[in-house]
Structure 1
Amino acid sequence: MRISARTQYALCAMVALATAEGPVHAEWVALTQDIPRRFCDNILLQLRRAGLVRSQRGPDGGYWLARPAKEISLADVIHVTEGVEQGSEHFPAAAAPLADVWAQLRSHEHALLSEITLAHIVDAPTGLTTSGS
């Protein structure tokens, strides 16, 4: 799986929002996560449109998670920025069974990313283990 810089920034922004106590400005997210400011604004807008983030304008406004961190998985964020991968691999002749391997890989990948929430990331002291580890 390849993860774009946009997705990496989106995940960092979401973790930052999960650690914040109340609304925070986009500038704070950009500075604390080393995200270029304009890029951060665009990502937060995309996440807001997808319903993962809420926002309010004004000096007391900012951005915050639309749901508790324990209800937002990494897969939720990745689907917003990367979209859903379609299984379109075609392998000729003797290699045809590889299509099933790739499908299983995508399924396991999705299951893992769906299992890990922002709360897991925020609460992880140094490493992250899942129920399968």
Structure 2
Amino acid sequence: MHLSARTQYALRALTELAAAPPGPVPAERIATVQGIPRKFLDNILLQLRRAGLIRSQRGPEGGYWLARPADEITLAEVILLIEGRHEHGDYPGVAQPLAELWTALREHEERLLTEITFAQIVTSRATP
């Protein structure tokens, strides 16, 4: 599975929010800690907010936080939001089994990623 830089940054930003104490987290903090270019992060946060995954508050005490508990947001949800669904096209003739293989692989990836939440990611960081 290939994930774009945008998707990887979105996953890192959400993980940072999932690990943060309650309350708004400034975008600048997310950008600095995760090494994400600020302008790029701002666009990603806007997309995540529009999708209802995060909320925001403006002002000196402002920032971002998860719109739902971290154990209700899956990796699959974020990856599908950012990447969309990829189709592999037609494979004619003897190559037809390749199309079936790619479909099965994608379905397996989606099942696995649907089972992993941001709460699990944050929790696994704390255990050696």
Fold in common (TM above 0.5): yes
Determine the structure 1 residue equivalent to 2:106. Answer: 106
Q: Alignment identity in percent?
A: 61
1:46 Cα shift? 0.6
SS at match of 2:56: strand
Determine the structure 2 residue equivalent to 1:77. Answer: 78
With the length of structure 1 as denominator, give the TM-score of the two structures: 0.89
Determine the structure 1 residue equivalent to 2:5. Answer: 5
Is the Cα–Cα contact under 8 Å of residues 75 and 114 in structure 2 kept in the other structure? yes
Determine the structure 2 residue equivalent to 1:55. Answer: 56
Name which of structure 1's ranges 118-127 and 99-108 shifts more when overlaid on structure 2: 118-127
Quick one: distance in 2 between partners of 1:84 and 1:69? 23
Determine the structure 2 residue equivalent to 1:120. Answer: 120
Q: Deviations over 1:82-106 (max 9, x none)?
A: 1122x34211211212211111111
| Counterparts in 2 of 1:3 and 1:61: CA distance versus 1, 3 Å | same
Structure 2: unaligned runs, 5 residues or longer = none
- Aligned pair count reads 126
Q: Deviations over 1:46-90 (max 9, x none)?
A: 1000110100111122100000000000011111211122x3421
> In structure 1, what residue type is equivalent to 2:109?
E
- Computed over aligned residues only, the root mean square deviation of the Cα atoms, in angstroms, reads 1.4
Quick one: distance in 1 between partners of 2:123 and 2:100? 35
